[in-house]
Chain A
Amino acid sequence: GAVVSQHPSWVICKSGTSVKIECRSLDFQATTMFWYRQFPKQSLMLMATSNEGSKATYEQGVEKDKFLINHASLTLSTLTVTSAHPEDSSFYICSLAHGSGDETQYFGPGTRLLVL
C-alpha cells in the first residue's frame, strides 16, 4: 500500500485569499499524483494529474491559473487555490498510484476548504 497525508485537514479563509494544500506520500515515491474535488453528496471529480518535475495536466473546465499545482518532489504535491471565492468551498482530496500494473489509488484524508 501507500500512506498519504494532507495538510491542513481543514481551512477557513476570506474571499480573495490564496490557500495552499499539501499532499505527501509518506512511504512511496510517487511520480504521479491526482487532485480531486468533491462537493456535498457528489462524487469525486478529477481536477488534475500532477506529474513530478513537469506541468500538471488539467481536466476540462478546471482553470489552471486558479488551481496551481506543483509537484516538486517524489513525495510532495501542492495545490494552491488562488483568489478563493465561496464557490471554491469544497473537499479537496489527493491520491497516488504505484503504477507498473497496480492501478490501486491511495487517497489522502482530504482537506475541507470553506471560503467566507
Chain B
Amino acid sequence: SQKIEQNSEALNIQEGKTATLTCNYTNYSPAYLQWYRQDPGRGPVFLLLIRENEKEKRKERLKVTFDTTLKQSLFHITASQPADSATYLCALGVGGGYQKVTFGTGTKLQVIP
C-alpha cells in the first residue's frame, strides 16, 4: 500500500541549531514533492517544491533534498528560531498537469529559546 511517513513524534531543538525533518514514501513515483508549514488552527502555507530530477533546493534558511532511490526527502531549517515552531507537512504529486497531492502525517517542530 502507499504510505507517506514523517517523524511521528515532535522534534525539539535549540534555537540557532539546524532542524532536519524527514519524509519517506513507499509505492509512490512522485514527479515532485512539496513542503508546507501549518500553524495551529490555520491552513498550510507553501514553502518549497522539488522535482524528481532535482537533488536539492534552497530558499533562504530552508533546504530540501530529494532522493528518489531512497524514496526520501529531507527538509532542513538552518539557524532555527522560535518563530519556526510549527507543523511541517510533505506532499507528493504525480505531475502531468494533475494538481492533486497527497500529504504526509506532518512533524511538529518546537524551537526552544
Given A32-B99, A43-B104, A44-B89, decide whether A103 and B34 contact each other with a Cβ distance below 8 A: yes
Say yes or no: A109-B95 contact (C-beta < 8 A), given A49-B100, A104-B49.
no
Which of B12-20, B39-47, B53-61, B72-80 lies at the binding interface?
A: B39-47
The majority secondary structure among interface residues of chain A is: strand
In the bound complex, residues from chain A placing their C-beta under 8 Å from that of B106 are: 43
From residue 74 to 102 of chain B, which have CB atoms closer than 8 A to chain A?
Answer: 89, 91, 93, 95, 97, 99-102
Secondary structure type dominating chain B contacts: strand
Spell out B's residues near A (CB within 8 Å): 32, 34, 36, 41-46, 49, 89, 91, 93, 95, 97, 99-106
Are B46 and A110 in contact, CB atoms less than 8 angstroms apart? Answer: no
Pair A105/B99 contact, Cβ less than 8 Å: yes
